Amino acid sequence: MNYFSSQFKLGILGGGQLGKMLLTETRKFDIYTCVLDPSDEAPSKIACNEFTKGDLMDYDTVFKFGKEVDVLTIEIENVNVNALEALEKEGVKVFPSSDTLRTIQNKATQKLFYIDHNIPTADFVRFAYVSEIEDAIDNGGIQLPFVWKAAQFGYDGNGVKVVRSKADLKDLQDGECIAETMIPFKNELAVIVSRNAKGEVKTYPVVEMEFHPEANQVEYVICPARIPFKVANKARETALKVSEAFNHVGLLAVEMFQTENDEILVNEVAPRPHNSGHHTIESGYTSQFEQHLRAILNLPLGKTDYKVAGVMVNLVGAEGYSGDVHYEHIEDIMAMEGVTPHIYGKKQTRPFRKMGHVTIVNEDLNTARKIAEDVKNLIKVISQ
């Protein structure tokens, strides 16, 4: 099929920053794009050929949108999976598939999938209601502390909380959830796997993630991860095993823990471009966004090596500020060598909201990490 400068239409469910960055690549290839998002102010609106405002969880809206395109992909998991399944039956190519997405959408189902496929993951207990957790603590069914995760609709640190005492249970949203054993780990790692419909598979280098202690958000993504080759190889092999089990098409970001004794445990996955791959725009031969396009369109996959060491810093709204966004000291960071800011186009800031990211590239990883810290300390996302 001819995708370039043709009648072909690519549909994207979700119009956030991931969609916006994906659309940079569709522009490069002159691929016609249609985006569905509930917000009139979606970052992707300025970059697509057609924009439709609508609810991603509404069956009829998603089905009608999908019928107008040739290939349908996502930039957010919270979409109506039943509509995707119906579209597949009508001959629309949907990547990731409704089957893959249904499993991944629910964290409890996702964890059970790992158990069924002998993929190493932290022990967990599934609950229908938060109220059941207190009984489980009392009768010894689970031990404090543990990590509570809402089964559905969590994002960017929302829907995840470390529970150290029974008092921590009172603020949790009710509904299906899991209580996961806390893993003492050395590092949080991630590997992005790309796969096209022909079965060609490539992995990006292992990255290391440093988290904000309070917001449970990634502060720094470091490529390559500062770990021994043996550990990196085990992480890559684990990610490939997860990818094979899902048999996904597109990108699959696999987040993992490196334990104290260098075991690798899968934390969770995302079947789309991911925060842990943003650095590839500047540091890699093929950005994760271009690779996602290549994969879902069944084109040859691009080279995944990194050209230069890269560190990514998330730009999130500063605490105590809400309203019209202002980026303080952005010109100062642009004066630093190897520093590239990406502004997502969200007009309103609030504490810890993802507003952009900055990539720092350097021949030397330690130098890149130091500059990243300077960037983090200097730039502020505040309100006017």
Element housing 281 (H / E):
helix 280-283
The sign of the torsion formed by the CA atoms of 217, 222, 226, 227 equals positive
For residue 203, the cross-strand partners are: 193
Per-residue pLDDT of 242-301, as tens digits, reads 999 999 999 999 999 999 999 999 999 999 999 999 999 999 999 999 999 999 999 999
Q: How confident is the model at residue 215 (pLDDT cuts 50, 70, 90)?
A: low
pLDDT surpassing 80 at residue 212: no
Q: With contact defined as beta carbons under 8 Å apart, do 211 and 154 qualify? A: no
Q: What is the pLDDT of residue 31?
A: 98
Element housing 341 (H / E):
strand 339-343
122: number of Cβ within 10 Å: 19
- Predicted TM-score of the model (pTM): 0.95
CATH for 185-383 is 3.30.470.20
Do the bridges between strand 32-37 and strand 9-13 make them parallel or antiparallel, or are there none, so unpaired? parallel
Q: How confident is the model at residue 207 (pLDDT cuts 50, 70, 90)?
A: very high
Q: Two tokens at 175?
A: 């509904």
**What does the domain layout of the chain look like in residue ranges?**
9-94, 123-181, 185-383
Fold observed for domain 9-94: Rossmann fold (3.40.50)
CA-wise closest residue to 233 among 189, 198, 194: 189
- Mean pLDDT over 230-251 rounds to 98
Q: Known binding site: residues?
A: 107, 149, 180-183, 188, 267-268
The sign of the torsion formed by the CA atoms of 112, 113, 118, 124 equals negative
Q: What is the pLDDT of residue 15?
A: 98
Residues of the chain with pLDDT > 90: what percent? 89
Q: Known binding site for ATP: residues?
A: 107, 149, 180-183, 188, 267-268
For residue 181, the cross-strand partners are: 146
Domain 123-181 in this protein, CATH class: alpha beta
Distance CA 355, CA 364 (A): 27
For residue 257, the cross-strand partners are: 188, 265
The sign of the torsion formed by the CA atoms of 264, 266, 270, 272 equals positive
Q: What is the pLDDT of residue 213?
A: 72
Q: How buried is residue 340: exposed, middle or buried, by Cβ count under 10 Å (0-12/13-18/19+)? A: middle
Fold agreement (9-94, 123-181): no
Q: How confident is the model at residue 182 (pLDDT cuts 50, 70, 90)?
A: very high
Per-residue pLDDT of 113-170, as tens digits, reads 999 999 999 999 999 998 899 899 998 889 999 999 999 987 666 789 999 998 898 8
pLDDT surpassing 90 at residue 96: yes
CA-wise closest residue to 102 among 293, 255, 271, 268: 271
8: number of Cβ within 10 Å: 15
Q: What is the pLDDT of residue 384?
A: 86
Residues of the chain with pLDDT > 70: what percent? 99
Do the bridges between strand 50-53 and strand 32-37 make them parallel or antiparallel, or are there none, so unpaired? parallel
Per-residue pLDDT of 314-347, as tens digits, reads 999 999 999 999 999 999 999 999 999 999 999 9
Q: What is the pLDDT of residue 259?
A: 97
